[in-house]
Every structure is written in C-alpha cells, then in structure tokens.
Structure 1
Amino acid sequence: MNPVPHETILIVGHGSREDSGNQEIREFTEQWRARRPDWRIELCFIEFAPPEMNAALLSAARSSRRVLVVPLILNAAGHVKMEIPEAIEQVRAACPQTEIMLAPHLTACDPILAILKRRLRKGMNALDMPDPTTTGVVVLGRGSSDRGANGEMAKMARWLLEEGDHELIDLAFTGITWPRLEKVVQRQVLLGMRQVVVLPYYLYTGTLMQRIHRQVEHLRGQYPQVRFFCGEHFGFENEIFELMDQRVEDLRAGVPDSRLPCDGCSYREIAHDLGHGHSHAHTHDHAAAPAHDHGHEHGHDHAHDHDHGHPHEHVHHEGQPA
C-alpha cells in the first residue's frame, strides 16, 4: 500500500457551462504540476464541472495529513467568502485529523497589474501606437452583487491609470452590475477617443468571453470612425503560476493574510481562522445577518462565466439552476 501523502494542494476553480473554459483550467493544472513535480496538486470546481468541490475536498482530507485549498479565482465574492469556507468547515468536522488551510484568492495585486499593463501595450502596438491621450481603455470584468469584488476591479483600473499615460481608463461589467461595455464606449467616444482598448479581466474562456468578442465586433460597426482592440483572458500568464506558488508557500510558512476576504464583516473571524488552519465550533447563521453584504445573493465573482439570463441579470439563489 502506498503511504498516505503528507500534503495535497487543492485548486478550486469556479467552473463554466462552456467546457472549453473548464478544459483550460485542467490544462493550467497540468502545467502547474509540470512546474512543481514534487507537489501533489489536485483540481476541483465549485459548479458546472467535475470533480465537485465538496467531494474533492473530502477525498483530499481522507488521503492527506494537510490540505492547502487555493482558489483560482480573481475576486472575492460569494464563492470565496462563504461557499469555500463552508465546505472546509464541513470536511474539517468529518476529518478532524487533517489540517485544512485556505489561501486567499488571487486578489488585486501588482502581478495582475503587470499582466494588464502588458496586455495594454499589446493593444497599443496592434493599433500602431496611437496617442494614449486619445485612446480610451476599458477594464471589463464579470461583475458581482458584492461591492468588495467590484471594488477590487476598480482598484486595478485606477492603478493602471496611475502607471501609464492614458487619461481615460474606465471600468465596465458584463453582468450583475453597471456600467456595461456599450455605455462606457459611448461615453469615451463622446469625450473624443479615437481608439478604444478593451481589456477583459478574466482568467479563462467561457460564454462571457465569447460574448465580449461579439460585443466588440458590434461596436466596430456602430462606431466605424473608432478603432478597437480587444484583449484575451490571461489565466496562463506566468504571474498566475507565481501567485499560486506564493499562496502555497505562504500557507506553509504560516504567513498571516492581510487580504482577509471579508473586511468589516461579522464573519471576519471565521475567514481568519480558516486561513490559519484553526477550528471553531460556531456556524454561519445567514438568517441572523440580513444586512451582511456578502454577495450571497450569489452574484458571484465568476472567473469566466455565469450568465444567468434573467431580465436585468438578477443573481441566482442557492439551489436554483444557474
């Protein structure tokens, strides 16, 4: 019989209805394994694709003495703040002999900014290096009902503006919240922009990335006097692998996480405990915290797609089909 592995690193991806997005996450996992052959790296998805998170987490806990849970997710909304910690609590109760530790999501950080800056340079090159003061930029993300998740994107747009020569860098969302790409481009054209660079803030492909490219094609027809460049998702950039490496090393070293997923929230202690591998007896009473702004209406930060298709793009509730 093989010895029980000491440690399992469990990647948590969101999952997409478009399997090409799930396949890219599987490919990322294979590439990370190749970079770290001494690590036992497993993959699970929160929804839409196997292996399912709860079952994969339980399997990892039963076969390891320590499980490091590393979300491959850009922004912290309902999944990162609630669903992943809840799954960990359930498995921790079932496998008390196993230490389970939760890393922060990828977050708004300098490595992500480096990717955006590189993608912006690529767009400017494709447009034959126009004047940045007449070239608008749109950072385009998924959108969430969680203000913190949207705020992380706003921070990235601001950092991008402060480190470059573009005078107009705006934020837009593909769903859940506002503004949308069409409205932002309309404003930029009214302000005299002659070129527009659209930078999707997505890790992997999916139905929403496909929609973005269709929207940009429509905008080209709507504004024939404006040149457009649309970037690609960026989940295979070197910075993503390095961030995942750092999450693992920080957990192993016991580095405290200053990016708690729920600042100012009544569940902050729970999130803190999960990051440090501590156990606690109390549970989450959602009904007791109606004012808790968690995005637990499930306007999640979906790293690639979660198009609910409802009027006004209302978010779905747990137990309802997405």
Structure 2
Amino acid sequence: MTTWNLTQMQRHLLICNGSTCMGAGAEMVTQNIRDEIRKNRLDEYIHTSRTRCNGRCKDKCVVIDYPKGTWYSVQQEETARAIVHETAEEKAMIYSMEHGERKRGETRIKGIDKYKKGKGPMKKAVLFVGHGSKLEDGNKEVLQFVKQMKEYIDPSLYVETCFLEFASPNIEDGIQLCIEKGADEVHVIPIILLHAGHSKLHIPAEIEHAKEHFPDIQFTYGQTIGVHEEIFEILKSRLADTGFDVNQKHEDTAILLIGRGGSDPYANGDFYKISRLLWEKLNVSIVESAFMGVTTPTVQDGMERCLKLGAKKIIMLPYFLFTGILMKRMNNMAEQFKETYPHVTIDIAEYFGYHPKLRTVLLERMQQALDGTSTGMQDLENFRKYAEEHGYEHHHH
C-alpha cells in the first residue's frame, strides 16, 4: 500500500464509496475529482480518500471537503470538478460551516436523529414487505391487507408496510420509518409466496445495508409463506368460489395451477410440490402446473396438456397473492381460451386476496421472527456467505 508525504496537503476530499453512492455513480465522481486534481497539478495540496457509507444516502453521491467541513451531493460531472476549485453551486451543498455552526442546505432533508439508547423495554417494529406492482390497485390491496391484520397484532408493536419494487415506500424507507418511530428492533416479514431471488438476495441485502447505518438496531428476518398447510385451504376456498365442490369427485375436470414463474429451480420445485399436494387433497383426476413467464411450461402449454388428458372443464387457479399486471393478463388469456376452445368449459378462480387463512400464515411468520425461531435468519447468513464469495452490489428495487 502507498504511503504519501502529506505535509503540503491543504484539503482532504472524502468521497463516499458506500453501496448506495456506488450504485448512483460514485466511481465516476471519484474519477472526475481525481482527474480534475491531476489536470490542475493540485495533487500536492488536495488529497482524496474513498470512504464507506457516510450516512446521507438520500443525498447520493456524497463528497466531504475538510477542513472546510462542507458536504456535497454530487450528481453531475460539473459539480464534481467544481468541488476541486471550491466553486460548486450552493444547491449542491448538504452541510456547510458558518461561524462554527453546521448549516443544512435548504433543499436537504433533516434525516433521522442519531440513535440514542433509552431506558425501559425495547420497542419493536414489524415491517411487512410486499412485492409491489405497476398496477396501483395491487399495492393498495397489500396496504389494506396489512391494515386489516393490525387488528390481530399486539398494539405495542409498530407496524409498517413497504415494497420491493414499483411502489413506495421501498425497504430502506420502510426501515427508516420504523426507526423514526422509536423502534429498537425491526422484524422484516416478506409477503412473498415462494423462496427465490427476492427473499434470498434482495431483501437480505437491504437488511445488511441497514445494519451498516443502524448498528444499534436489532434486525430479524421472517421466512416466506412457502409450502404451508393453510395455503391449500385458500386454494380450495377459491375453487369453491367458482362452484367447484371440493368434496365431490370430478373425473372430467382439470385444475391448472398458475404461478408467476422464475429462474430459481428450488422455487419452481416448491411450486410443483404444491401442485402435487393439491392433487392429493382433491378428488380430481388432473392438476397441472404452468407459469406466466420466465420458465416453462407456459399457460398455453398447461392448457393444451389438460385438453390432451381429456378434460372437459378446466379451472385456471392463480397462485397469486394480490391483483397486478399478470392477473389482468391471466383474465384476458381466460377469455381468449374460451373463444379458442368453445367445446370446453373454462373458468378462472380468484387470487388469494383478503383470505383469513393468509392472515393466519403471515401472523405465524411474524411471530416466528419475534420469537427468534424463523428460518429467515439463516437466509441472512447465507446471503453474507454469498456476498463474500460472489460479491453483491446493493441497489434499490
């Protein structure tokens, strides 16, 4: 490692290379600043250092100028180069020192007060994480579902909802909201059906990122819904809503269980396991599996297989929690299938939605996290090992 002679140094620029800033272009900011210093032969007087997170992620990318004590939010090359010459516009300033006092820029948020340990019992927050949808109705359903669950949750717990993608607040903002309310512990509970990339990598990455910012806060992680006995009660209930008698034998009826689809082979395997177990619990000849995307068999493949097996009635059974773009697409597909196969009766069941059994499962997952018995904690450990071996660049969904 290099050891410089810094006796002539007059300024020290600290350039945040934390995960959030790096995801927003901190590497380019670093190179722009260093290039400007070299071009103007200021290396002897201005020293630069890369740092880890400086705790102002909302102002990414962060550059700190010492001993002047000015903090900058750098989002353009011009700003990065102007910092070298101390000519950056005032709107780029996060903090400045005036008469020995730190002043925050007018457009900059205050942020969370530094955490202080208090007395009394630990305050706990439960943060439910929905997937998020481009269809606003789907996001509203998640929020409404959690609101209904609050009636069954200990009122001493703070309860918040956030989303992985497509909707606000995101996980980082959800965690901050919990801490702003005074939580000493944050228990993150995914509202996710199958254990795949989001629950194995993306949510653990957000939790690990939060730990860097809030080392005094305790985090736990709940497990996904997974293969749970109550899920079959929900599926049977949704079938019954279509007029299907779950207690009768149906020789000519096929159930086409339709999932989102993904690239994780174990999640896809769990979906097939659920399909098989559903067949075991119904008096029906055919239960087939299909996916809306990413992998096969497609819904069209599943429909054709049901027909080849002799089905005279096919019930499309969505394996989805709430409405969204894919549910809208599935409903359109059902109408198209009815036109294409007029000799077959085709029905489509409802997604899970506000089913009391879904509430039961999520409350169970929440309690496991609170009790420290959730397998989600092993997922955090697995993520840490994965990140050490393969690397993982944190980014917001």
Shorter-chain TM-score: which interval? 0.7 to 0.9
TM-score if structure 1 supplies the norm length?
A: 0.78
Q: Point out where structure 1 has 5 or more consecutive residues left out of the alignment.
A: 262-267, 272-279, 290-295, 297-317
| Contact residue 253 and residue 313 of structure 2 kept, 8 A | yes
Instruction: Identify the residue that residue 382 of structure 2 maps to in structure 1.
Output: 270
Please give the alpha-carbon distance, in whole angstroms, between the structure 2 residues aligned to 1:221 and 1:105.
Answer: 38
Deviation per residue, 1:168-204 (Å, 9 max, x gap): 1010000001111112111211221100011100000
2:192 matches 1:73: yes
Q: Note the C-alpha offset of 1:129.
A: 9.5
Per the alignment, do residues 100 and 288 of structure 1 end up closer, same or farther by CA in structure 2, a change over 3 Å counting? Answer: closer
TM-score if structure 2 supplies the norm length?
A: 0.64
What secondary structure is seen at the aligned counterpart in 2 of 1:100?
strand
What secondary structure is seen at the aligned counterpart in 2 of 1:196?
strand
Per the alignment, do residues 61 and 200 of structure 1 end up closer, same or farther by CA in structure 2, a change over 3 Å counting? Answer: same
What secondary structure is seen at the aligned counterpart in 2 of 1:167?
strand
2:324 matches 1:221: no
Counterpart pick for 1:284 among 373, 381, 387:
387
Counterpart pick for 1:24 among 141, 144, 147:
141
Counterpart pick for 1:98 among 196, 206, 217:
217
Please give the alpha-carbon distance, in whole angstroms, between the structure 2 residues aligned to 1:255 and 1:130.
Answer: 39
Please give the alpha-carbon distance, in whole angstroms, between the structure 2 residues aligned to 1:156 and 1:99.
Answer: 34
Instruction: Identify the residue that residue 349 of structure 2 maps to in structure 1.
Output: 231
Q: Note the C-alpha offset of 1:228.
A: 1.1
Please give the alpha-carbon distance, in whole angstroms, between the structure 2 residues aligned to 1:235 and 1:241.
Answer: 10
What secondary structure is seen at the aligned counterpart in 1 of 2:160?
strand
Deviation per residue, 1:126-176 (Å, 9 max, x gap): 8x9985121011110100011111112111100011112112101000000
Structure 1 residues 34-45: aligned runs within 5 Å: 34-36=151-153, 38=155, 39-45=157-163
Instruction: Identify the residue that residue 107 of structure 1 maps to in structure 2.
Output: 226
Instruction: Identify the residue that residue 73 of structure 2 maps to in structure 1.
Output: none
What secondary structure is seen at the aligned counterpart in 2 of 1:134?
strand
2:244 matches 1:125: yes
What secondary structure is seen at the aligned counterpart in 1 of 2:127?
strand
Counterpart pick for 2:277 among 150, 156, 159:
159
| Contact residue 4 and residue 64 of structure 1 kept, 8 A | no
Instruction: Identify the residue that residue 87 of structure 1 maps to in structure 2.
Output: 206
Instruction: Identify the residue that residue 56 of structure 1 maps to in structure 2.
Output: 174
| Contact residue 104 and residue 260 of structure 1 kept, 8 A | no
Counterpart pick for 1:200 among 315, 318, 332:
318
Q: Note the C-alpha offset of 1:241.
A: 1.0
What secondary structure is seen at the aligned counterpart in 2 of 1:284?
helix
Per the alignment, do residues 151 and 21 of structure 1 end up closer, same or farther by CA in structure 2, a change over 3 Å counting? Answer: same
Instruction: Identify the residue that residue 13 of structure 1 maps to in structure 2.
Output: 130
**Once structures 1 and 2 are overlaid, which stretch shifts more, 129-138 or 242-251?**
129-138
Q: Note the C-alpha offset of 1:250.
A: 1.5
Please give the alpha-carbon distance, in whole angstroms, between the structure 1 residues aligned to 2:160 and 2:347.
Answer: 36
| Contact residue 61 and residue 100 of structure 1 kept, 8 A | no
What secondary structure is seen at the aligned counterpart in 1 of 2:294?
coil
Please give the alpha-carbon distance, in whole angstroms, between the structure 1 residues aligned to 2:277 and 2:262.
Answer: 20
Greater strand share, structure number:
2
Structure with the bigger RCO (C-alpha within 8 Å, sep 6+) is 1
Counterpart pick for 1:137 among 255, 259, 268:
255
Instruction: Identify the residue that residue 365 of structure 2 maps to in structure 1.
Output: 247
Q: How many residues align?
A: 277
Per the alignment, do residues 87 and 129 of structure 1 end up closer, same or farther by CA in structure 2, a change over 3 Å counting? Answer: closer
Please give the alpha-carbon distance, in whole angstroms, between the structure 2 residues aligned to 1:242 and 1:104.
Answer: 14
What secondary structure is seen at the aligned counterpart in 2 of 1:168?
strand
Provide the identity percentage: 28
Please give the alpha-carbon distance, in whole angstroms, between the structure 1 residues aligned to 2:163 and 2:328.
Answer: 21
| Contact residue 222 and residue 376 of structure 2 kept, 8 A | no
- Give the 4+ runs in structure 1 shifted more than 6 A: 2-5
Please give the alpha-carbon distance, in whole angstroms, between the structure 2 residues aligned to 1:286 and 1:178.
Answer: 30
| Contact residue 221 and residue 374 of structure 2 kept, 8 A | no
Q: CA RMSD in A?
A: 2.9
**Once structures 1 and 2 are overlaid, which stretch shifts more, 226-235 or 250-259?**
250-259
Q: Note the C-alpha offset of 1:4.
A: 9.5
- Whichever of the two has the greater Rg, that structure is 2
